[in-house]
Amino acid sequence: MKNVLKKITTALLASALTITFSFTAFAETPKTITPSRTYGFTSDGAKGTHEFITGHAMAILGNDKGANLEKLITNYEPIVKQYCDQPDKDENQWAFAYHFYDPYTNKNYLPSILPASKITALTKFEEHASNAVASYKTDRTYSMQELGRACHFLEDVNVPYHSANMIAVLTTHSQYEQFVQDHQADYAINTTDKYNNYYSENFNSYCNDILNDCAKYSYSFKDQVKSSSDSWDSVANVTVKYAEGYVAAFFYRFLHEVGEF
């Protein structure tokens, strides 16, 4: 009985700590630290990792599938890039909890008793990807905005800290993401083999599966990035490339879904 009470007490304390952090971190974000530095791949415009991955994914699409398909995205490149940063500015509720997703619990870092724990990078990715498809024929600008937002959440789960629910204040989350930005040019790829992965599925299933694929892959490196910064380069070298490849594949599948080929 004592052990049971001890476990319950510990769980309640942990939940209280997480809730306290969620409110205070959002309400009292230190002015010297931008949200992007704290809770995601860096969203520093052209310098940031989100725009780096999104831009390279467009180039990869062109290299692999031809300039005609690439132009369907790059004609709106400024919009897509702007909005691949935007969720760090206006979808940052609960101290950016919606940017996290553990593929083995299907939740973010919030206590599971909270409904908000089920709003994750996965549900956000699916929401924006669906909006991008639904509005493509009627409002191309909005569609491209939603496409950029979808890219943001797909990219986020390629960070081990995001897929393992390791928050910035308690881990080296921020330092790792700054390291990635400082070295991202080293992780650029020109082609990918990910186009056929899950391609035959309907679009909703496709989106679910590629994000889970990315999240599980990055999750497998959680202990490495947490234990030593010496591993950061080797982990980023594979996970950032993984993200570039899957964003390019996502662009391709999106264009098929809206009837461009």
Q: What is the pLDDT of residues 221-245, one digit of tens each?
A: 999 999 999 999 999 999 999 999 9
Q: What is the pLDDT of residue 47?
A: 82
Q: Which residues of 35-72 are buried (b: 16+ CB within 10 A; e: fewer)?
A: bbbbbbbbbbeeebbbbbbbbbbbbbbbebbeeebbeb
Residues 40 and 96 sit within 8 Å (Cβ to Cβ): yes
Write down the residue that tokens 């991202």 correspond to: 184
Burial label for 198, CB within 10 Å (0-12, 13-18, 19+), is middle
Amino acid at 174: S
Q: What is the pLDDT of residue 129?
A: 99
- For the ranges 2-16, 32-46, 228-242, the maximum mean pLDDT occurs at 228-242
What domains are defined for the chain?
Answer: 33-257 (1.10.575.10)
For residues 87-91, average pLDDT: 97
Q: What share of the chain is helix, strand, coil (3-state, %, to 5)?
A: 70, 0, 30
For residues 80 and 150, give the distance between their C-alpha atoms in angstroms, rounded to a whole number: 10
If DSSP codes are grouped into helix, strand and coil, which group holds residue 107? strand
Mean pLDDT across 104-133: 98
Query: Looking at the predicted structure, is the pLDDT value of residue 214 above 90?
Result: yes
Which of 167, 169, 176 has its CA nearest to residue 41?
Answer: 176
Residue whose structure tokens are 């994750």: 120
pLDDT digits (tens, 9 = 90+) for 41-50: 655 567 899 9
Q: Give the list of residues 6+ apart from residue 20 with CB closer than 8 angstroms, or none.
A: none
Highest mean pLDDT: which of 41-45, 72-76, 170-174? 72-76
**pTM for this predicted structure:** 0.84
